[in-house]
Structure 1
């Protein structure tokens, strides 16, 4: 029997408030195939990834209709009764670093008695190594979801990896692509993410944050345009700036694994999720994201054959300085286990500083997560 027809997704209006927007570059990927286009894009990319780790891309060969279809599927999943969604949640798996499937809201207490307001549903990439039962609303559309997942990789991630390779002066611009092959075992995943609106009183108790400042753990994260303003980035001047939802773009941020591979040259971007502005604060926020990571076997040591890293003396990272040579698989498991570990709530100051017990932030002996305040 065919699945029922899913209504198209209608995005809410953008905020009319005058927010302090971040000044981010936009890479036009239509230049990618043009003579000299890659080199021009690398020039634009260089400053962004060394300083803030955030930028937009446009003309990425994924239609708005395809994007909106994923928002519609996410909406349909989150409209399911909680008991139905909980069939795809396993608390023990979550605490041992298995993050695919469903995570309900309220998994963590942020502070002052207020629990987190975010639901997450992760769909692993379709590499043949992550067989999972999906709810019917997604299983009935799984080929479409796979096609979208693969497009995220081929049309955006692969192109960015080649630009990074040129930036690093690698002898082969496909070197990083080979470390991120879609059909090789890895931890890439597509995510539908739902933030429930909270009362002003609850928001005030947690300094008007849905989540404190952090970095992502992979290579790059793709955030498809989300008109409910909430994402903020920490710029190189130490200022929190709002990320504006630009039409026809994906917001990209660079992440921990790429920082490790480049000896710290490429910044792992610091970001947080703020309460939306007043004219959107009552609206639930639905996001569609794609997380790209190196294949599981890739060792996250600084890339040895980059002339640029050698000239700059960037030959170590936070892992190697501890005598660790972690594979992506080891890093993801350690970081996810730390992130999902039950922990006491933070002490939250009135100006939005979150302070956790040191043991709650330990990823590995000698290596702790950082909450960016």
Structure 2
């Protein structure tokens, strides 16, 4: 007999009133997607964003605010569980092998200066039949709703963006990238509930006001649903860190490493970090709902050979092929996640906030190191 859990409505906290240095990002209106000339118009808007910053907003994406708020509410209910209950869905051994689904408690990593990370993560793999996992009762009771939301993220947002990227690359088939990202084929897409606990001022100072140092994501695109606690920053093409403003009715999108590899570097893997929120939000815990889209496991991360754009620009190699590697997405996820989830030695944090790790802690594969952007 299934258990029913009533989920109270989720109420977002107020936005900051501080005058922050906000990034100027384009907004892609997906209501234009099926209108005459709409896709071509959207590709023109995307062109600069994905080649220079790798961040943009989408709006009118056919997922209601009520559906989004329900996912925030489910995330809130999960994180309200006792730690011992959440730890039933955590495996340190899995993390060491690069298996990242399930729960990761805060404090798994040491940041530096004696400060541990303040981030809890719960990953729910896509419902492709290859990732059978037990779920806590509060989520199991709503698993059909979670699956429906996961699938809508993919069909309503990810697949449309992949078609726009195909047009940008002048591929002969608008659906070529969609075929490499089929929801029901084995892959590592996942939905994430993410919780950042507020820290006191002294801890924030010792961590150089950083929750997560500058990095790139490893997949194709990441969907970040509107999060009113300002903390996300992007590194723009001028080398400046800019705050990302929570825009009503939008999803913030960033492009990621696999897409960069497939396009020979044409589409930029966005560099971003999470820092201490502004003073009027510094004491508020930050809850996030994200969807990570990745190529299917079998896809080889070589530059796309039949793109006239890549051929014209001579973008026929990437960091993998230059090392003589032809990694599948499954192989890339495994080695990158193994490096990311490693319990690193503490970083050396300089007075100006620069994080420096020992090379062995950043090695993904021999000859390829992960980068931390300061």
Query: Does the CA-based 8 Å contact 2:5-2:141 persist in structure 1?
Result: no
Q: TM-score, normalised by structure 2?
A: 0.99
Q: Which residue of structure 1 aligns with residue 263 of structure 2?
A: 262
1:111-126 alignment, distance < 5 Å: 111-126=112-127
1:15 is aligned to 2:22:
no
Give unmatched runs, 5+ long, in structure 2: none
CA distance in 2, matches of 1:4, 1:295: 34
CA distance in 1, matches of 2:96, 2:280: 37
CA distance in 2, matches of 1:116, 1:342: 11
Q: Which residue of structure 2 aligns with residue 59 of structure 1?
A: 60
CA distance in 1, matches of 2:353, 2:5: 45
Q: Deviations over 1:286-319 (max 9, x none)?
A: 0000000000000000000000000000000000
1:130-279 alignment, distance < 5 Å: 130-279=131-280
Question: Could you tell me how far 1:256 is from its partner in structure 2?
Answer: 0.1
Question: Could you tell me how far 1:3 is from its partner in structure 2?
Answer: 1.3
Question: Could you tell me how far 1:178 is from its partner in structure 2?
Answer: 0.1
Question: Could you tell me how far 1:371 is from its partner in structure 2?
Answer: 0.3
1:313 is aligned to 2:347:
no
Question: Could you tell me how far 1:2 is from its partner in structure 2?
Answer: 3.8
- The CA RMSD measured in Å over matched residues stands at 0.4
CA distance in 2, matches of 1:315, 1:350: 41
Displaced runs of 4 or more, over 3 A: none
Q: Which residue of structure 2 aligns with residue 44 of structure 1?
A: 45
1:76 is aligned to 2:77:
yes
CA distance in 2, matches of 1:330, 1:175: 21
CA distance in 1, matches of 2:38, 2:366: 44
Q: TM-score, normalised by structure 1?
A: 1.00
Q: Secondary structure at the match of 1:288?
A: strand
CA distance in 2, matches of 1:214, 1:341: 15
Query: Does the CA-based 8 Å contact 2:193-2:287 persist in structure 1?
Result: yes
CA distance in 2, matches of 1:32, 1:352: 42
CA distance in 2, matches of 1:33, 1:170: 19
Q: Which residue of structure 2 aligns with residue 362 of structure 1?
A: 363
Q: Secondary structure at the match of 1:279?
A: helix
Question: Could you tell me how far 1:4 is from its partner in structure 2?
Answer: 2.2
1:33 is aligned to 2:34:
yes
Question: Could you tell me how far 1:352 is from its partner in structure 2?
Answer: 1.3
Give unmatched runs, 5+ long, in structure 1: none
CA distance in 2, matches of 1:342, 1:223: 26
Question: Could you tell me how far 1:341 is from its partner in structure 2?
Answer: 1.1
Question: Could you tell me how far 1:141 is from its partner in structure 2?
Answer: 0.2
Q: Count the aligned residue pairs.
A: 373
Q: Secondary structure at the match of 1:345?
A: coil
1:109 is aligned to 2:128:
no
Q: Deviations over 1:334-361 (max 9, x none)?
A: 0000001122100001211100000000
Query: Does the CA-based 8 Å contact 2:53-2:235 persist in structure 1?
Result: yes
